[in-house]
Chain A
Amino acid sequence: MSLLLIGPVVGPLLAATVLLALPGRLMLRRVVALLATAVVIAVGVVLLLATSDGEVPVLRVGDWPPVVAITLAADPLSALLVTVSAMVVLACLVAAVGTGDDRRRAFLPLTMVLSAGAYGAYLTTDLFNLFVLVEIMLVPSYVLLALSGGPGRAGAGRVYIATSLLGSTILLAGVGLLYGVTGTVGLADLAGMAREIPAAAVAGGVVLLAFALKSALVPLHDWLPRAYPVASPVVVALFSGLLTKVGLYAIIRIYAVLYGGDPAYHPLLVAVALASMVIGVLGAIGVRSMRKVLAFHMVSQIGYVLLGLALFTAASLAAAIFYLAQYVLVKAALFLCAAVVRATRGTDRLSRLGGLASSNPLLAVAFGVAALSLAGLPPFGGFLAKFLVLRAANEVGDWLVLTVAVLVSLVTLLSMLKIWGVAFWGEVPRPAREQTARPGAALLGPPLVLGGCALLLGPLGGPLLQVADAAAAGLLEPAGYVRAVSGR
């Protein structure tokens, strides 16, 4: 069982090597990449089933003793995120067949390496290995952004690389400081340290700062709406499903384990969460392309997840994890809708779009479902997620949080209606660019399937909710995780 843990890291890396050895055979390359990702989804589901009863599978690579070994472990949170990320990667790979992104020789191997780093970051139990795996994930993303970008990619790429490098440097410094204070970088050995040693709390704060930069929390969010919309929509969907979410996962894990959810930091976390929600959603009002609107909403939605973490009750943590899982799928669906729009109309600028609802009703269905779920309308999964967050806030009795969360959903809905009204219902602008080709199944399928997931998660969200409950229990009481990882 525990040997399976190596699969999500080694599988895609092996696939990347095979892909590099097979230049020119496009169909074969696609099959290899899709197979590797399908295997990761299967491993993720098996891990989800295995961790559902509170067991934590642990793998010490090469059977080295705990301090020396590279240790991988899965609890319900890690297993869930590996599964959901792999689903997004699969959807992006299929959509890339439709848009032709994967005709570039580097696309498939880079995607494989990027995803391997992300899965590894979810499974590692060691802060230094987390740094290394995050780098494995980020380096391909620099190249993907530079390769797939449209006009302005040089400037956007520079902003993106500089921000990421700064984040990585701060992260490494934080890990070094933490090692200097506590003498260990293993998460299990660090459990609760920040409450005992004030210097460890400061060092941990440096690490959290680095991850806040990587997950684009306000006031460190400015790079994301500048950098992401330049890349091709499929690449943005991939980034939105993996990169910022790894930062968010690290914040959740470190705050739960290292700080033990110390209530002294709750006001700070709530303030950052609310600021992210409000500033992200307001930023989306002023921009005029689908990708830019969606990129600003990423900042806003990350705030909801952080809000669940900030309240740090069993209900709020479960809500945050449920929110994160459904949001990753919904966001990928929306970006892949933008990919369809761009592939058929040649642009996703709102001023040059119109009449999509009549020319492409299936796309309209996919976008409508995903957008309503993002805004949090019943009966979609997004409604359940927002309802859970609000209920947790209500239990704590925080009225400011409740008000802001409801208002932000309202503005999110307005923003989605703006895209809908202009791009889907509006007049076809002149000179009309005739639709050159009907989008194929590879292009339309992924957003439809992901949108279907968003719809089903509303009425049938029970199993995901159970997983989220189990993950929240593991974060609230990390003793089982710590015992399994440290081997004591």
Chain B
Amino acid sequence: MSGPLIVGVLVAAGVFLLLRPGQLRLVLGFVLLGHAVNVLLLAAGGLHRREPPVDGGGAESADPLPQAFILTAIVITFGITVYLLRLLRRASRRGSRRPETWDRGPR
């Protein structure tokens, strides 16, 4: 039950941030959306369809495939977040000379 709630709250917060002006909020919004999808992937796992990955693992063992998915997704999201922050920094440095109106917050 907690899985859908966490995903819902994270998606709501992420979409809220995406719809606000300002690029830092955009970056944070995508970070939250990324977390939401990771939780969703984790909740999608289940061993009722296949054998446990390790011999002797019982019904208690976890499904390894979604964890591998999440690990990959985290690496990709992290890389893109760093790139976005770098772009933001470049824009703000340039902004000291020539302000870009749509990078500013609400007025």
Contact = CB atoms under 8 A, between A and B. Distances in A.
A180 interface: yes
A165 interface: yes
Interface string A423-463: 00000000000000000000000000000000000000000
Interface stretch (A78-86, A150-158, A267-275, A404-412): A150-158
Interface string A468-487: 00000000000000000000
B12 to A, nearest CB: 14
Contacts of A58: none
Interface of A: 67, 128, 132, 135, 139, 142-143, 146, 154-155, 157-158, 161-162, 165-166, 168-169, 172-173, 175-177, 179-180, 183
A172 B30 contact: no
Determine which residue in A67, A132, A143 has the highest number of CB atoms from chain B within 10 A of its CB, and name it: A132
Nearest to A128: B69
B69 A169 contact: no
B37 A172 contact: yes
A454 B100 CA distance: 43
A179 B34 CA distance: 17
Interface in B44-102: 44-46, 49-50, 65-66, 69, 72-73, 76, 79-80, 83-84, 87, 91, 94, 100, 102
A161 B80 CA distance: 9
A132 B87 CA distance: 23
A165 B44 contact: no
19 contacts: A128-B72, A132-B76, A139-B79, A139-B83, A155-B100, A155-B102, A158-B26, A165-B30, A166-B18, A166-B33, A169-B34, A169-B37, A173-B40, A175-B69, A176-B66, A179-B44, A179-B69, A180-B43, A183-B49
Query: Can you list the 7 inter-chain pairs with the closest CB atoms, starting with the nearest?
Result: A180-B44, A183-B49, A176-B41, A176-B44, A179-B44, A176-B40, A173-B37
Contacts of A162: 18, 26, 30
Given A128-B69, A158-B87, A179-B69, 7 more contacts: A139-B76, A146-B87, A169-B37, A172-B41, A172-B73, A176-B66, A183-B50
A142 B40 CA distance: 27
Contacts of A132: 72, 76
A146 B90 CA distance: 11
Contact of B76 (A135, A143, A155): A135
B101 to A, nearest CB: 10
Given A132-B76, A183-B50, A176 B69 contact: yes
| Interface of A (DSSP majority class) | helix
A154 B76 CA distance: 22
Contacts of B65: 179
A263 B63 CA distance: 35
Contacts of B66: 176, 179
Nearest to B48: A183
Nearest to A143: B83
A201 B33 CA distance: 23
Nearest to A158: B23
Contacts of B30: 162, 165-166, 169
Interface string B1-45: 000000000000000001000010010001001101100110111
Contacts of A175: 69
